Amino acid sequence: MPKVISSEELDKLAELIGRFHEGAGLDEILAAIGGAVSRRTLQRRLADLVGLGRVIHQREWRSVKYRLAPITGTLEATEATLSGDEIRVSGEVYVPISPEGEKIKAYVRQPIQGRRPVGYNIEFLNAYHPNVTGYLPEKLLEQLHALGRSPADRAPAGTFARDILNRLLIDLSWASSRLEGNTYNRLDTERLIQFGEAAEGKDAIETQMILNHKAAIEYLVHDAGRVAVNAETIIALHALLSDGLLADPLACGKLRNRAVEIGGSVFLPIALPQRIEELFGIVLGMAAEIKDPFEQAFFLMVHLPYLQPFEDVNKRVSRLAANIPLIKCNLSPLSFIDVPERAYIDALLGVYEINRVDLLRDVFVWAYERSCQQYVAVRSQLVPPDIFRLRYRAALAEAVRAIVRGKLSLTEDSIRQCMPRSVSPDDQDGFAKLVLEEFKTMHVGNAVRFGLRPLEFEAWKDLGKGA
């Protein structure tokens, strides 16, 4: 049976290939790795990356070169003018979309007078059956899981998001706010989040929007073990994201009790408060049943904006809510970096007006690939947590102290003599090796980790017991 290649190994290889801006041949990559893997193993890993679409290979003369697959978009020219020797082209950046997405885009780009007014369609929700029907095909889910897996996939919920929190706060706060028309750039956002410095010439509302995102993201990450896809968490997200931004402060963190309209759309959301509350519970109940984190994330991106449960800030709530299952499963988060605002709005209009998710799915997948590209280097620099060491952390400290304070020689017999009863018989060999490894890296400066004073450790070392 072939060996299963871990996502961390593939991530490291992808990052290494990314350093070769002009691409690299097999021998160049092998030399850069430094003999860590065999030529055949490297070929298998490269084939895996090519199969995942993360790396492309091109034949150049008699050799093949590998380079990172570009995250592409499209620029559609809408107007071109010729002036002397200069051609000026205006257009828009878009994401690559499927034929189904093209049809949705064509429909929502019609003048508003040519689109049929519609209300909330309960059959759109009724047609979805958690874990039976799905918006994301199985093969696409496999691709997303391969892209998003992190070194902390077996650690407690939220571990990976905490590891990259500083980067995530800036990326997601900036990108999500930009989709709302916020004009802060990334550098201004970084200064605001890290140093509390508001950018000059910016509206106070824009500054508040960024800070609200920061507070909401911190809530999701720091309370990852408690937050869930439920009413309490979603309402808390709304309270944090809408703080100081609503005309009626009482609407902050509350389901709406009045009718709302969506600018530029022929969709009219439900107005009856009792019906909104009922459907809010149904949507979250269905979402909570979904087992796959990506399907769950996408379902929330579809149905929270479609319901419009709050007076405003619904899209922002849905974007952060989509990160709940990703954070809890220690997958790379969805930061919405570089997502074109028009593509995102077109996709939502497709959901609102014709109940089609294809264009939003195109945007979701592109956005997640782009987000993962941001965190490949970060992931490769993180050391996967040692679950065995975590399990026996207290026992390890107890054994180390017993050896040092008992002035015992560092042998397997002495380790077994000091081994706490909490170490199960099946784990005793592994625990003995763990103790030996800890002593190899122990010195006066870090002995305090095990409750030892520097002089205690120095006295034991002077006896030559560690030889």
Q: Helices in 292-446 by DSSP H: which ranges?
A: 293-307, 314-321, 323-328, 341-354, 358-381, 387-391, 393-405, 412-418, 428-440
**Distance in angstroms (rounded) separating the CA atoms of residues 413 and 357:** 64
Q: Is residue 76 part of a domain?
A: no
| CATH classification of the domain holding 33 | 1.10.10.10
- Residue 261 three-state SS: coil
What pLDDT, on a 0 to 100 scale, did the predictor assign at position 137?
Answer: 96
Q: Is residue 75 part of a domain?
A: no
Give bridge partners of residue 57 from the DSSP assignment.
Answer: 66
Among residues 52, 68, 84, which one ends one of the domains?
A: 68
Q: Give the β-pairing of 267-268 and 118-119.
A: parallel
For residues 268 and 401, state if they share a domain.
Answer: no
| CATH classification of the domain holding 264 | 1.10.3290.10
Domain count, the chain: 3
- All residues at 6 or more sequence positions from 173 whose CB lies less than 8 Å from its CB, including other chains: 189, 193, 210, 213, 214, 217
Among residues 363, 381, 399, which one ends one of the domains?
A: 381
Identify residue 342 by its one-letter amino acid code: R
**What tens-digit pLDDT sequence spans the chain (467 residues)?**
345 455 567 777 887 887 776 788 888 888 888 777 888 888 888 887 876 667 887 766 567 788 877 655 555 555 555 555 555 544 577 899 999 999 999 999 999 999 999 999 999 999 999 999 999 999 999 999 999 988 777 788 888 888 889 999 999 999 999 999 999 999 999 999 999 999 999 999 999 999 999 999 999 999 888 999 999 999 999 999 999 999 999 999 999 999 999 999 999 999 999 999 999 999 999 999 999 999 999 999 999 999 999 999 999 999 999 999 999 999 999 999 999 999 999 999 999 999 999 999 999 999 999 998 877 666 655 555 577 887 888 999 999 999 999 999 999 999 999 999 999 999 999 999 999 988 988 888 888 888 888 888 888 988 876 54
For residues 22 and 113, state if they share a domain.
Answer: no
Q: Is residue 87 part of a domain?
A: no
For residues 248 and 129, state if they share a domain.
Answer: yes
State the residue range of the domain holding 447.
Answer: 387-462
What pLDDT, on a 0 to 100 scale, did the predictor assign at position 27?
Answer: 84
For residues 297 and 331, state if they share a domain.
Answer: yes
Q: Which burial class, exposed, middle or buried, applies to 196 when counting CB atoms under 10 A from its CB (0-12, 13-18, 19+)?
A: exposed
